[in-house]
Amino acid sequence: MCNTTAAGASTDESHALRSPAHFYLTFLRLSKQSGLGNIQEQRLKNLKSLPATEYLEKPLPSPAEALQEAASLFRLSFPIAVTALLVYLRSVVSMLFLGSLGDLPLAAGSLAVAFANITGYSVLSGLSLGMEPLCSQAFGANQPRVLALTFHRSVLFLLCSSMPIALLWVHMSPILLFLGQDPEITSAAQEYLLFSLPDLLSFSLIHPIRIYLRSQGVTRPLTAAAALAAAVHLPANFLLVTRLGLGASGVATAAAVSNLALILCLLPHAPRGATAECLAGWGPLLRLAAPSCASVCLEWWWYEFMILLCGLLPDPRPAVASMGVLIQTTALVYVFPSSLGFGVSARVGNELGANRPSRARVSAAVSVLFAAVMGLAAMCFAAGMQERWGRMFTDDADILRLTAAALPVVGLCELGNCPQTVSCGVLRGSARPVRAAHVNLGAFYLVGMPAAVGLSFWLGLGFVGLWTGLLAAQVCCAGLMLHAVGTTDWEAQARRAQLLTCAAVAGAGDASVDSVVLQEVKIEKEEGNKGTSEWCQPLISIQGFLDEQFFQIEELQDDVSPNFVEEVVTLFFKDSLRLMGNIDHALEKFPQDFDRLDSLIHQLKGSASSIGAAKMKNECTVFRDFCDKENQEGCIRSFQKVKKEHACLRQKLENYFQLSKVPKSMDQIQTEKAWQGKAMATLPRTTADAAWSLLSTFSSIHRWYPSLHTCCLISGTDGHPGCVRYCASAPEDDGKPSLWANEELLHVDADGRSYRYRVADNNMGLERYEATLSAVPLPDGEGGAGCQLEWRFESDPVQGWTEEGFVAYLQAGVAAMAERVEEALRPPPPTIGKCDAVDVANCT
């Protein structure tokens, strides 16, 4: 049984992430031009001859790693199991009170519960699992904002989903009467469901809170809340059913009261501060929730289908009763592998979100081993209790006979079900629900159903034949699930987790992000259709700055989303500029909060990993080492390197996008030389400090540079690295500026009276442009008088200009700027007296 089956990603082969094999194909295209073709072709040939999981040489976890992971899984899963047992206890109490009311309330309650499970509880349970990989991976990536957003979106999503379910419950009676159910039982079941509507709505909040806490490894509040709800459940039933005489409706109301107590206990642990942002950005959640719901329902409904088949057997009464006993038995056993599945889902998601694929692989391996042990224990339990288990429920000889005959088969089913359920958890943590849904559909309905019907009715095995059909389904399902886990490319899944977290932040409406980040990773072995020249030019522009992750993203761009790479990179720069600004502010505070610094730089590292910014990621790692040592000087030095790598990366990526759009020959790329120059102007009567007092304001350059009409800050804090200003020339007749640029401040040297900036975007033909503006004292100035303005720059060749002409243009601008600065600092002429200066003769 896998009632909480995997959550994950869709498998559209046309958008599969690029694998390491495909990366070698790309590199091969480049290497053929440098004489390395034969070596790389042989390497690629060896690579193609191996299975997808062998080329990475993944060793088995060491005993120490396995024991450490086992302890982590136990600490996480044991409280979940206790919680599940408490929930199971509540259902047993409800059935006991229903049974005490007589045959009609028991039959009506059972029918209502079955209808509610099929149409409501299974659907909400499955839909809620869409948030599990988003939350667990966001927690691992240290993205609390994504966690909170996903929680609030999930609550709204489940509330919206419960509305049509509630409408269906209200109109349950006509549906069941149309299906031929007894009118008296149907009427009582309808009443039971009406009183269960608050219970349905409560699960729209309970499921998200459970997953939100569980994905962070927080389980004690869940156990405490479940204990409180169980403690409330018994007296609530006693009061409503026994004292007030509400009958079956009282049982439904007691369940709602217990869940209300559960919610009140958990609400303090839910995230607060919901904003309008949670009304959008549902794309990644919906794309995970739909297949997760299908996966859960496909298996959940199978057991209801088994009960229906029992009603078609020659002696249906004992068959239906025995099936109920055995299903309750499997539900009890299922508590333990499902709890381990929830635990490993959180662990795998956390490690993938933190970009630690090796630890995720260890967690998966250890959990599957535990599951195999659980399966053996369940099989031995079923075999040992074959003659005695049924007597705990009934003394009916026919029911006991059928139960004893089927128990060994049930034990074999659990032998496969335990590894299958835990494998579901692994797939859920790595966000692959479509894979799980396909497995459940094939195993239960294409293998199990025909086998159950054929064995029971055609071969005459009857009741045991139904369970043998389930055994066939479980064997098939377990095999496919274990194969999915065993062939997982954990490195690729870790990269994909960064994209999934990125998509959750990106918000709704971005179909290119939503549709791409949920694709399952596949190893593509075909070379594709792009020619050598198209591949070489962009790759050379970013060579050494980005790792394979960027090529994975680039592979996802197609005609449907032609700007996908640029959109992902833009999102990265937007996020990284925000984080770098926060780090700058954090570094200015005293005493230094190194925990906050470490948290911020960890988020920046995760953001860099999402696009494969290898050098920047490495510098972030160095920064974190200084945080661990509480070395503030080291943090400051390291952050300067981070910002330098960030600036270089931005230049390279802008150049990459330009190369992708304007094809150039290899000779052009190798021989094109960057421009470097300097423009200067002297201010003989102005000190460097005085000049810098005017020029140091980054967003006021238009006051001094003559060709600029407008300058304003569009992001960041003025004077802090990372802020961006918008500069534009005078508008034309249509009101639009003829020339404009967005310029990012890279570095400020207050003591040296200089700052460095780069052009981030423009319409002037600048592909890469960096400049430093400084006010330098004249070497022969006496008393500090006199200074020189220097404007040094480095850029790629500018379209429509020669290097000499561009320097001359800057020289004219700097000279005019120097005049304006001197004029602004020139003292006003002295007044002659208090009278009008025109009437000099009358002045006294």
Domain boundary among 667, 700, 723: 667
Helices (H), 522-613: 532-542, 548-555, 564-588, 594-611
731 or 138: which leads in pLDDT: 138
Whether 580 and 726 share a structural domain: no
Question: How far apart (Å, rounded) are the C-alpha atoms in residues 634 and 240?
Answer: 67
Peptide bond into 591 cis (omega under 30): yes
CA dist., res. 94 & res. 132, Å (int): 29
pLDDT score at 830: 62
Q: What is the dihedral of CA 282, 284, 286, 291, to 10 degrees?
A: -170
Give residue 132's Cα distance to chain centre. 9
Specify if 10 maps to a domain.
no
**Residue 747, pLDDT above cutoff 70:** yes
- Give the mean pLDDT of 317-326: 77
Angle made by CA atoms 739, 744, 750, in degrees to the nearest 5: 120
DSSP reduced 3-state for 62: coil
Does the CA dihedral 557-562-567-570 come out positive or negative? positive
pLDDT score for 180: 72
In a domain, 371, yes or no: yes
Residue pair 191/157 in contact (Cβ under 8 Å)? The answer is no
- HEC per residue, 578-600: HHHHHHHHHHHCCCCCHHHHHHH
Asked if 565 and 589 sit in the same domain, the reply is yes
Which position has the token pair 């200066």?
837
Give the integer Cα–Cα distance in Å for 469 and 453.
Answer: 8
Residue 236: per-residue pLDDT: 92
Average pLDDT over residues 825-839: 56
Q: Enumerate helices (H) and strands (E) in the chain, giving the number of each.
A: 29, 7
User: Residue 777 sits in a domain of what CATH number?
Assistant: 3.30.530.20
pLDDT classification of 440: cutoffs 50, 70, 90: confident
Residues 663, 689, single domain; the answer is no
pLDDT of residue 834: 43
Give the pLDDT confidence of 329-379 residue by residue, as tens digits: 888 888 899 899 999 999 998 888 877 888 889 999 999 999 999 999 989
- Residues 679 and 651 both lie in one domain: no
Q: From 667, 692, 712, give the residue that closes a domain.
A: 667
Neighbours of 31 (CB within 10 A): 17
Question: What's the confidence (pLDDT) of residue 514?
Answer: 38
Same domain, 757 and 701: yes
Mean pLDDT is lowest, of 296-305, 308-317, 353-362, 783-792, for: 308-317
Q: Is residue 833 part of a domain?
A: no
Mean pLDDT score, 107-114? 77
SS3 content of the chain, % helix, strand, coil (to 5): 70, 5, 25
Range of the domain at 194: 74-280+316-492
Q: Is the pLDDT of residue 757 over 90?
A: yes
Q: To the nearest 10°, the Cα dihedral for 326, 330, 332, 333?
A: 140
Q: How far apart are CA 386 and CA 403, in angstroms?
A: 8
Residues 584 and 609 in one domain: yes
339, 370: one domain? yes
Choose among 333, 359, 336, 334: nearest CA to 346: 359
Angle at 818 between CA 812 and CA 820, to 5 degrees: 105
CA dihedral of residues 419, 422, 423, 428 (deg, nearest 10): 170
Asked whether residue 606 is domain-assigned, the answer is yes
Q: Does 692 or 32 have the greater pLDDT score?
A: 692
How confident is residue 684, by pLDDT bands cut at 50, 70 and 90? confident
Q: In the predicted model, what is the mean pLDDT of the chain?
A: 77
| Whole-angstrom distance, CA of residue 643 vs CA of residue 645 | 5
Residues 741 and 775 both lie in one domain: yes
Token pair for residue 23?
Answer: 């990366």
d(CA 802, CA 523): 48
Q: Is 614 inside a domain boundary?
A: yes
> Letter for the amino acid at 287?
R
Taking alpha carbons only, the member of 263, 244, 243, 267 closest to residue 255 is 263
In a domain, 136, yes or no: yes
The string of pLDDT tens digits covering residues 782-793 is: 445 789 999 999
Q: What's the confidence (pLDDT) of residue 736?
A: 52
Same domain, 257 and 338: yes
Cβ(675)–Cβ(795) under 8 Å? yes
Q: What value does the mean pLDDT take over residues 466-492?
A: 89
Kindly state whether residues 616 and 699 are assigned to the same domain: no
Q: Residue 600: which CATH number?
A: 1.20.120.160
- Residues 226 and 86 sit within 8 Å (Cβ to Cβ): yes
Amino acid identity for residue 14 in this structure: S
What's the full length of the chain, in residues?
Answer: 844
Q: In the prediction, which pLDDT does 40 show? A: 34
Dump the DSSP string for 632-652: HHHHHHHHHHHHHHHHHHHHH
For residues 225 and 169, the answer to whether their CB atoms sit within 8 Å is no
Q: Is residue 178 part of a domain?
A: yes
pLDDT at 25 over 70: no
Per the domain annotation, does 500 fall within a domain? no
Helix 397-429, helix 131-140: angle, nearest 10: 50
Q: Do residue 482 and residue 620 come from a single domain? A: no
Q: Please count the structural domains in the chain.
A: 3
Q: Strand (E) positions, 217-257?
A: none
| pLDDT greater at residue 369 or residue 667 | 369
Residue-wise pLDDT tens digits, 118-138: 888 889 988 988 888 888 888
DSSP of 428-475: HHTT-HHHHHHHHIIIIIIIIHHHHHIIIIIS--HHHHHHHHHHHHHH
Lowest mean pLDDT among 262-266, 427-431, 743-747, 779-783: 779-783
3 state SS of 39:
helix
- Comparing CA positions, the residue from 817, 574, 508 lying closest to residue 714 is 574
**67-73 CB contacts, 8 Å cutoff, 24+ apart:** 69/347, 69/359, 69/362, 69/363, 69/366, 70/366, 70/370, 72/347, 72/363, 73/340, 73/343, 73/344, 73/347, 73/363, 73/366, 73/367, 73/370
Query: Is residue 758 helix, strand or coil?
Result: strand
43: pLDDT strictly greater than 60: no
pLDDT confidence of 141, banded at 50, 70, 90? Answer: confident
**Domain stops at, among 667, 683, 717:** 667
Sole residue written with tokens 């060749």 = 797
Strands 754-762 and 740-749: antiparallel
Q: Are residues 750 and 771 in the same domain?
A: yes
